[in-house]
Structure 1
Amino acid sequence: MIVQTIAVDIGGTYARFAVAEVAGGRVTAMHNPITMKVSEHASFQLAWQAFAEEVGKPMPRAAAIAMACPIDGDVLKLTNNPWIIRPALIPEKLNVEAWTLVNDFGAIAHAVTQLDEKQLVLVGGPDRPLPDDGVISVIGPGTGLGVAQILRRNGQYHVMECEGGHIDFAPLDSLEDEILQYLRQRHNRVSVERVISGPGLSNIYEALVSVEGMTVEAIENTKLWELAVNNKDSLAAAALDRFCLSLGSVAGDIALAQGAKAVVIAGGIAPRIAHFLSRSGFIERFVAKGRFARMMTEIPIRLITHPQPGLYGAAAAFADKYTANNYNQSG
C-alpha cells in the first residue's frame, strides 16, 4: 500500500517541501519539490499552507519533518530561524494524523539506508556496497559538522545522532598548529566544526593570511568557496586543501571511535568537494591511524550525490516508522 506524506527539511535559511510516497517501509517517489526562504514566511504553518497552495490539491494527512536543531523539548527553536515549533500542536496546526520529527542530520542518516548505490559515489577504500551488518558512520560538513551512525543488524537499522562535530580539533602538523593557535585567539575552545564546515573555510583562510603575514580584503564566505573550488585564488585553494586534509583526519577518527565498517560523507558542502577528495590528501589522512592504518584501508568511503538528501531522509524516517501494517491513510 502506497502512503503519501509531506516531507519537510527546515534549515536556518531555507525550508524545503515535497510530496513523498512510501510503501513497505521505503521511499518510492518524491514529487513537487519546492524550496522557500524562511524569511518570507512568519511561521512554519504559513509556509506549509503556501506549499499546499503551490501543489494545488488536497494535502496528505501525514508529515515527515526534519529540523536543524535538537528535537527534544516542548518548544523547538532553530538557530538563525525565527520559527518556533511546538511538537504537540503539529497535528492541529498542520491537519495531520500521522507525523515524524527528526533532527536534520538524523534525516541524512535515514537517507543513507535507502538511497541507491548510484547516489553514493565511492571516494576512497574498496569498491563494495555499504555493509548489511554493522556500523556506518555519516559525517556532513555544512553550516556546522553533523555526525551520526547507522547500526544495521538482522535486516533492520537504527539511526543514532551524536555531537561528533564538537570534539576538539587536533592539529597533525606545524601549519595546523598555527591554525589552531590563530583560532584560539577567537574562541575559548576550538571544535572540529570551526574548521570542517562551510564557515570553516573562512576560518582556515584567515588563519593562513595571518601565517603568511599578508594583508587582504575580507571575502564573503560564499565567494571564498567559489574562488577555492575554481582555483581562482591561491590562498583560497590552499585553504580548501587544508579543509580536505582535516575532513580526512576527523572522518577517520569518527570511524575508529564508532567501529565503522563504512563511512558516508554528506552535508551541503559534499557536492562542491566531490571531485577534490580523491586527489587531495583526504584519503591519506583518513587511513593515517598508526597501528590501525591497514584496517582503515578496508573501509569504503562514499559521498551522497542526491540533490535533496534531507527531504528524502525525512520521508525515509517516516517510512521506517509507519508502514502499511500500522498506518492506513484516511484522506
Structure 2
Amino acid sequence: MTTTANHPDPGSPDRPLPVVAVTMGDGAGVGPECTVSATLDPQVQRICVPVVIGDRRRLQQAAAVLGLDAEVVAVGSPAEAVVAPGRINVVDLGLLPEDLPWGQLSAVAGDAAFHYVRTAAELAVAGRVQAICTAPLNKEALHLGGHRYPGHTEMLAELTGTSEVSMMLSSPRLKVIHVTTHIGLVDAVAMIEPGLVERTVRRGHEALTRSGIPHPRIGVCAINPHAGEGGLFGYGEEEEKIVPALERLRADGVDAAGPLPADTAFYLAGRGDYDLVVAMYHDQGHGPIKVLGIEAGVNITVGLPVIRTSVDHGTAFDIAGTGRVRTESMVEALRQAVELASVG
C-alpha cells in the first residue's frame, strides 16, 4: 500500500486517512525505538498517516538498533507524507547531536523533546494533523532543558491554551480517569472539590461516548478507605467533595456510581461492571492499570481541543538503545488516536 496524507483510505474511498503527529520523545530513551517500530507496523500504516516530529538521524540509529531496514524521509510538512512499507516520514527538527548517548540524562534531549511536542501541538491546532501520539519524555531531562512541566498533560494544556484537562489511562481490561494527577497527596485532597469531580466525570463520559460506548457506566472512587466508613475514616471528605457532584451528574442522566471504596471499584470494573473508574489521585488510578499490564496501556489527555494519546511507560534508560523495548503500547496508542480522530 502507498498513500499520501491527502489520499483516501483504500478501505473507505470517501474518507481520508487521519494524519497523526508522532512525537519522538526523549532521544536518549526508548522513544526513538518505539516510534520506529510502531510507525512501520503494517496495522498502523493501514489506518493512518503517521508523521514523526523528531530527529531523522536518531530514527535511523534506532532502526539500526532494532535491525530494521527503514527509509527515514524528511518532509517539510505533514501534507508531504507518503505511507509505504518500510518508510518513516519525519518533520526533522535536527536538535540532537549525532553522538548523543543512549540511556543517559541529557538537557539537550529534554529541550528537544519539548520542541517536538510544541511543534505537534501547533500542527494539531492548525488542523494540519488530526491527532497527536507521544513517545515518552523524561521529566528530569525536560526540567534540565529549561521546561518546568510535570509532564505531557500539563505541557499540552498550556500549549493549546486549555485551562483544565484530565489524564485517562486505558488498558484492554480497564479505563481510569484522574481528578488530580501530578501533585502531592495532601495537596490533591485539598484540591478536590465537587466542581472538579463533576467536570472530570463529564470529560470521561464524553471520551467514552466518542469512542463508541453510548451509555458509559462509571464508578467513582472515594478518597478515604472504605469510602470513609460513615465518618470512621477521614473528615467527611466524601460527603463534602464528591457526593454533590454525583447528585448533579445523576440528575443529568450520567450513570455514575459512588463514592465507592477504591479497592471495590477496581474489582468491580475488572469484572466488567464499569466502563470507567474515576480515581481521585495519581497512585489510586495508576497502580491498578500498571498491574494489569503497562505494556498495553495508553495515556489519553481528555479535554484538549486536539486528540492526544501516549504510551503509559517511561523512557526506560536502562534498556534504551538495546532493541529490547516492547512496543505494543505505542501501537495501541496510535490505534486509539485514530479511533478518536475518526469519530471526531
TM-score, normalised via structure 2 length:
0.31
What's the TM-score once normalised by structure 1's chain length? 0.32
